[in-house]
Amino acid sequence: KTARSFAEPQGEGGETHQASESSAPTLTTAQGAPVADDQNSLKQGARGPTLLEDFHLREKIFHFDHERIPERVVHARGYGAHGFFELTDSLADITRADIFQRVGERTPAFVRFSTVAGSKGSADLARDVRGFAVKLYTQEGNWDIVGNNIPVFFIQDAIKFPDLVHAAKPEPDRAFPQAQTAHDNFWDFISLTPESMHMIMWIMSDRTIPRSFRTMEGFGVHTFRLLDAEGRSTFVKFHWKPKLGLQSVVWNEAVKINGADPDFHRRDLWDAINAGDFPEWELGVQLFDDEFANSFDFDVLDATKIIPEEILPVRVVGRLVLDRVVDNFFAETEQVAFCTQNVPPGIDFSNDPLLQGRNFSYLDTQLKRLGSPNFTHIPINAAKCPVANFQQDGHMAIHNPVGRANYEPNSWGTEIGGPREDPVRGFRSFAEVAEGPKLRIRPESFADHYSQARQFFVSQTPIEQKHIGDALVFELSKVEHVDIRARLVSHLINIDPVLARTVADGLALDLPEPAVAARPTIQDLPPS
Ligand code: HEM
């Protein structure tokens, strides 16, 4: 010990140091200054006031105070893992997307599974849709397939998304319930939104109480486009098929598991990967052209519809394997930012109005959630191919343009002039011809809300149908307002009269009149 000229732990309270061993790194402040004492703040005398001068204390507490970032506005609870995508069947004749060219080639991937409605600390086995978001770090930029474990969605137009989510989340005055489905606001909104009926059949099925993330299917939901080198378009729907098959628990199990182990799904994924039992999915595509799209009564731009696999089989083109857990949950799983608009050359959007709204929403929310337009500098979000542009500055800018040029065109020459456009390799949108008056309109082709709901229900086995009926009775029995229950049953009559009767009986309701088939299409008619 040196002389008393240093401020040192004094007396009996200061004996708990974990002395630095030669092999362990020295504890430092964020500025790199080695720390001698991490147990006691700097005081004026052993029992005196703490000194403002104690930069170590202030830095440590300051940093702790700012540890939380906003949780995702939806899909707050999630769990991610690393892996790879391997192409098994080339799509080179259909798309110029680099990831689909060379059979056997692997592309690094990160996947985050999630529930939608619950908060970050909610239980894994809530009855809820599961997010299935895949980031593929391709050689021509990141491609995010931000999908769910259900192939359809509640609504047809993104303008309804805030209403849907407000109705599903805890009610604003009482701040409960956590469970999305079991309350008046949710069923009130749903019963007034007939386009949600197909989705309701799926979410009342066992699909929303999966056995494991490893036994879930995934779907890109929307119709996308694949573009070849000449700009020719093929419509595509994306499917992930689990190697372990589709497996769910039953409701009684879900309730017990939530009580006994609310981390059931994340623990299962962590344990499986660490045991070398790597989960795997096939990537399948449904490919079709305009003529095929126009052959249906429903619209392929309507996210409440599927294209039946009996009519258009899924072609398997690759596999996704998850083989590495994260090093740090916050850095990777929390900070990962998926966005439907992240597409490389060769992949493009359709005019699905839900998809178009999503393309805006994700980037916008991530600026708030991650706090800076530079969130692409965070390693989990950074592309693994060369990135060069003139974006600069902003909070937490790690990469700025190098040298003098931070604009283009410039005449500085290739040495210092920075990156240039590439008309051949660069991203090009499908040259779709679009014209017409500006309207707020839902087309007639979006109007049938019951046929596919019925198709799904009748495709289920008797025990699966019973589970759907039981789930509806359970969830609707939590609804206090009887008119909301009746309104929902009035839709069920249009889906399956026996199901409607079963649910009405379960709720001790008289069978109401069937719902009017579809909400009238609201139109701003063009000036004649
Ligand atoms: C988050 C899927 C519709 C806005 C997510 C996530 C998934 C997902 C998987 C979680 C991503 C992650 O793990 O980080 C879907 C699907 C939809 C859909 C499949 C319909 C087909 C929408 C719509 C909007 C929207 C219509 C808004 C107009 C958001 C937002 C987040 C989110 C704001 C949080 C993103 C973040 O904070 O990083 N969605 N979503 N979603 N979604 Fe969607």
Q: How confident is the model at residue 20 (pLDDT cuts 50, 70, 90)?
A: low
Known catalytic residue at 148 = yes
Burial (CB count <10 Å: 0-12, 13-18, 19+), residue 58: middle
| Residue to mutate, 153, 332, 361, ligand 1, most ligand atoms under 8 Å from C-beta | 361
DSSP state of 50: B
Helix, strand, coil % in the chain, rounded to nearest 5:
30, 15, 55
How many angstroms separate the alpha carbon of residue 6 from the centre of ligand 1? 55
Residue 3 above 50 pLDDT?
A: no
Query: Which residues face 210 on adjacent strands?
Result: 248
Q: Is the CB of 147 under 6 A from ligand 1?
A: yes
The response to whether 267 counts as a known ligand-binding position is no
Return the ligand 1 atom nearest residue 72 CA.
37
Return the ligand 1 atom nearest residue 80 CA.
13
Output the six-digit token pair for 351: 């005019």
Q: Is the CB of 43 under 6 A from ligand 1?
A: no
Q: Is the CB of 72 under 6 A from ligand 1?
A: yes
**pLDDT per residue as tens digits for the range 111-137:** 999 999 999 999 999 999 999 999 999
Closest-CA residue, ligand 1 atom 22, reads 358
Q: Please list the alpha-helical segments (H only) found in 66-196.
A: 161-168, 184-191
CA-based nearest residue to 495, from 50, 123, 125, 198: 198
**What's the rounded Cα separation, in Å, for the pair 511 and 261?**
40
Known catalytic residue at 222 = no
Determine the pLDDT at residue 415. 82
**pLDDT per residue as tens digits for the range 49-66:** 999 999 999 999 999 999
Mean pLDDT value across the chain: 94
**What's the rounded Cα separation, in Å, for the pair 173 and 490?**
29
**What's the rounded Cα separation, in Å, for the pair 130 and 209?**
9
263 vs 7, 78, 79, 125, 390, CA distance in Å? 46, 10, 10, 9, 43
DSSP state of 332: I
How many angstroms separate the alpha carbon of residue 475 from the centre of ligand 1? 24
21 vs 25, 38, 154, CA distance in Å? 8, 15, 58
Contact status, residue 39 vs residue 14, Cβ threshold 8 Å: yes
**Which entry of 56, 75, 198, 467 is annotated as an active-site residue?**
75
Burial (CB count <10 Å: 0-12, 13-18, 19+), residue 393: exposed
How many angstroms separate the alpha carbon of residue 15 from the centre of ligand 1? 51
Determine the pLDDT at residue 182. 81
The response to whether 214 counts as a known ligand-binding position is no
How many angstroms separate the alpha carbon of residue 382 from the centre of ligand 1? 20
Closest-CA residue, ligand 1 atom 26, reads 158
How many angstroms separate the alpha carbon of residue 95 from the centre of ligand 1? 26
pTM confidence score: 0.94
**Which entry of 40, 142, 148, 494 is annotated as an active-site residue?**
148
> Which residues, other chains included, contact 397 with Cβ-Cβ below 8 Å and sequence gap of 6+?
374, 377
Cis peptide before 409 (omega within 30 of 0): yes
Contact status, residue 79 vs residue 333, Cβ threshold 8 Å: yes
DSSP state of 159: G
Contact status, residue 148 vs residue 130, Cβ threshold 8 Å: yes
Query: Which residues face 103 on adjacent strands?
Result: none
Higher pLDDT: 274 or 525? It is: 274
Return the ligand 1 atom nearest residue 360 CA.
28
> Which residues, other chains included, contact 396 with Cβ-Cβ below 8 Å and sequence gap of 6+?
371, 372, 374, 377
Determine the pLDDT at residue 517. 63
**pLDDT per residue as tens digits for the range 413-472:** 878 899 999 999 999 999 999 999 999 999 999 999 999 999 999 999 999 999 999 999
Output the six-digit token pair for 159: 């303008």
Q: How confident is the model at residue 1 (pLDDT cuts 50, 70, 90)?
A: very low
Burial (CB count <10 Å: 0-12, 13-18, 19+), residue 334: buried
**pLDDT per residue as tens digits for the range 189-235:** 999 999 999 999 999 999 999 999 999 999 999 999 999 999 999 99
**What's the rounded Cα separation, in Å, for the pair 99 and 95?**
10
Q: Is the CB of 156 under 6 A from ligand 1?
A: no
Percent of the chain at pLDDT > 90 equals 91
Q: Please list the alpha-helical segments (H only) found in 285-374.
A: 290-293, 329, 353-370
CA-based nearest residue to 196, from 524, 523, 519, 473: 519
Amino acid at 161: F
CA-based nearest residue to 320, from 190, 471, 447, 217: 217
Q: Is the CB of 79 under 6 A from ligand 1?
A: no
CA-based nearest residue to 212, from 183, 182, 247: 247
Output the six-digit token pair for 237: 């729907």
How many angstroms separate the alpha carbon of residue 383 from the centre of ligand 1? 21
Cis peptide before 177 (omega within 30 of 0): yes
